[in-house]
Copies of this chain bind each other. A is one copy, B any other.
Amino acid sequence: MAQPRYDVLGIGNAIVDVIARAEDDFLVAQGMHKGGMALIDEARAAAIYAAMGPAVESSGGSAANTIVGVASFGARAAFVGKVKDDELGRTFAHDIRAANVAFDVTPAKDGPSTARCYIMVTPDGERTMNTYLGAAQELQPGDIDEAAIANAAVTYLEGYLWDPPQAKEAFVKAAAIAHKAGRQVALTLSDSFCVDRYRAEFLDLIQKGIVDIVFANEHELHSLYETADFETGVKALQQDARLAVVTRSAKGCMVVSGEGLEAVNAVPIEQVADVTGAGDLFAAGFLVGLARGQDRRDAARLGALAAAEVIQHIGARPAVSLKALAADSGLAV
């Protein structure tokens, strides 16, 4: 098998985040489910924007954040996702390329505008997301570059791709190409409500081995197996998945595989500013570790390090070089 061109190639919704601080009262008044991600239409997007406070715009998207994290560790990274050829689309493209990520998808010439996620960050650092998918919905199987996928050690997919109908087909196509080339496929479950919407399909992907590596947080695990019990969920996941990691915020994470369960601690921090991107960046570190041939425990440590960095500031992408941070922490990448 040829040496892969990319360590990780991510496929996901290409989104610009619009981030504002908000009180819990605001979430209640707006009928938002704290900590979740709601899909919204253009009218609701306009209403939320009009009601929310002063914001900061910052490129986001779950898998895109992960891939930027991969590049920040110094690994070779590519991203596939759809923007429109508009101001926000150019912002997204600039930011991901400036982060040393290959990004070659042709922007949509017309149709809905580039996707936006209105993120409310409450004083406890929790984020509540409202996503207008816009142009991200235009991602199609034709946007999947077979050579690029075949040349990536891991193809990483976000569960959110199940929302735009054609993106799902692109996802399945990419997974097939990756496996045909002898590469690995990873999936994040994205969000407990997303799991609620697509439970049977996600289980199918995992059980049939269409994905090799699964990332989930506790809420997503509970939703996937419709259980309130962590142990029950973990046991079921161990049955179904080749390799999985369940992230547990300050409690660290659990690496789950046929070889057993392994708990790895979180990196302690003083204060959480904004949890946006915590799971995305955990996945970045873990995948970089695997791609570089590290054992799963060390890979999880890299994940914990990247997650700790991103929750200490506003925004879902690293503010410092993760490669330098890992070196400072005595972790190899």
Binding site for B on A (CB under 8 A): 20-21, 49-50, 52-59, 68, 86-88, 91, 94-96, 98-99, 313-315, 317, 319
Contact of A58 among B57, B59, B88 (CB under 8 A): B57
> Which one of A54, A56, A319 has the greatest number of beta carbons of chain B within 10 Å?
A54
Since A54-B59, A55-B91 are in contact, a sample of 15 more A-B pairs with Cβ atoms closer than 8 Å, ordered by chain A residue number, is A20-B98, A49-B94, A53-B98, A53-B99, A54-B68, A54-B95, A54-B99, A54-B317, A55-B94, A55-B98, A56-B57, A56-B58, A56-B315, A57-B58, A57-B91
Q: Give the number of copies in the complex.
A: 2
Distance in Å: Cβ of A14 to nearest Cβ of chain B: 14
Distance in Å: Cβ of A318 to nearest Cβ of chain B: 9
Contact of A52 among B50, B86, B98 (CB under 8 A): B98
The SS class assigned to the A binding surface is mixed
Closest B residue by C-beta to A90: B49
A49 / chain B contacts, CB cutoff of 8 Å: 94
- Assess whether A95 is in contact with B55, with CB atoms less than 8 Å apart: yes
Closest B residue by C-beta to A18: B91
Contact of A88 among B21, B50, B55, B87 (CB under 8 A): B87
Distance in Å: Cβ of A193 to nearest Cβ of chain B: 27
- Assess whether A98 is in contact with B54, with CB atoms less than 8 Å apart: yes
Complex-state Cα separation, A58 to B54, whole angstroms: 9
Complex-state Cα separation, A49 to B53, whole angstroms: 27
Distance in Å: Cβ of A121 to nearest Cβ of chain B: 10
Distance in Å: Cβ of A73 to nearest Cβ of chain B: 15
- Assess whether B54 is in contact with A57, with CB atoms less than 8 Å apart: no
A52 / chain B contacts, CB cutoff of 8 Å: 98
What are the nearest 6 A-B pairs in CB distance? Answer: A57-B57, A87-B87, A54-B95, A54-B98, A56-B58, A53-B98
Distance in Å: Cβ of A48 to nearest Cβ of chain B: 11
A21 / chain B contacts, CB cutoff of 8 Å: 319
10 contacts between A and B (CB under 8 A): A21-B319, A50-B94, A53-B98, A54-B59, A54-B99, A55-B91, A55-B94, A57-B58, A86-B87, A314-B319
Distance in Å: Cβ of A6 to nearest Cβ of chain B: 19
Distance in Å: Cβ of A30 to nearest Cβ of chain B: 14
Complex-state Cα separation, A94 to B20, whole angstroms: 12
Complex-state Cα separation, A318 to B94, whole angstroms: 27
A88 / chain B contacts, CB cutoff of 8 Å: 87
